Chains A and B, each alone.
Chain A
Amino acid sequence: NAGVTQTPKFQVLKTGQSMTLQCAQDMNHEYMSWYRQDPGMGLRLIHYSVGAGITDQGEVPNGYNVSRSTTEDFPLRLLSAAPSQTSVYFCASSRGLPYNEQFFGPGTRLTVL
């Protein structure tokens, strides 16, 4: 099993550009989520999904869109990148909360100039 994979590993964008961060898992997990990690802020939840076709907002959803058309994939779209979105982004999956662990991907380091 590959677990949770994320692409790309690094990305540099200019302000106003859009892009999609890819996340895939091969563990047949229903629950998937996106976090951003900033220095001194810990991890903050952006969006999450409890199954294909179902998504909901987390703590910091503004500027991001998600969709969940399959169990395996959960892409995160930046609509119009801003310097405040410079961060490390982590995707995670789980059999379901609250009583299961989350498996994290290796992260995408995004810089917005």
Chain B
Amino acid sequence: SQQGEEDPQALSIQEGENATMNCSYKTSINNLQWYRQNSGRGLVHLILIRSNEREKHSGRLRVTLDTSKKSSSLLITASRAADTASYFCATDADSGGSNYKLTFGKGTLLTVNP
């Protein structure tokens, strides 16, 4: 079963605008990660936020984590056409209690129009 669920499933914006994607999860986690996947390629790690952190920045990326709501958001500021990709959240929570499984959501497809 999916642990993380991204919202929206698809997002289309103009270059220069900000893009916000959300992720909700069901059980307690140690950390939450965001990955990007360009069409036909493997996933690339963007950022990891631990359960005791509330916000993290990396370049034009800003990730927040609200463990009380079991949700996270990824903000991409001043988007570029090259940001067009699918974005996935992943958590290490597992119903079996193992820390060794990373569970991915179904992703948000972001399209940035020039």
Chain A residues at the B interface, C-beta cutoff of 8 Å: 4, 31, 33, 35, 40-45, 48, 50, 56, 58-59, 90, 92, 97-107
Contact = CB atoms under 8 A, between A and B. Distances in A.
In the complex, which of the residues A33, A98, A103 has the most CB atoms of chain B within 10 Å of its own CB atom?
A98
Contacts of A33: 102
Interface in B71-106: 88, 92, 98-106
Contacts of A103: 45
Interface of B: 1-2, 30-31, 33, 35, 40-45, 48, 50, 88, 92, 98-107
A97 B45 CA distance: 14
Contacts of B30: 98-99
Nearest 7 Cβ contacts at the A-B interface: A104-B42, A101-B45, A98-B92, A42-B106, A43-B104, A98-B30, A104-B43
Contact of A48 (B100, B104, B106): B100
B88 A107 contact: no
Nearest to A104: B42
Nearest to A58: B101
B107 A97 contact: no
A45 B93 CA distance: 13
B88 A43 contact: yes
A35 B107 CA distance: 15
Given A45-B103, A56-B98, 10 more contacts: A43-B43, A43-B104, A44-B104, A59-B103, A97-B99, A97-B100, A97-B102, A99-B31, A104-B43, A107-B41
In the complex, which of the residues B44, B101, B103 has the most CB atoms of chain A within 10 Å of its own CB atom?
B101
A97 B48 CA distance: 12
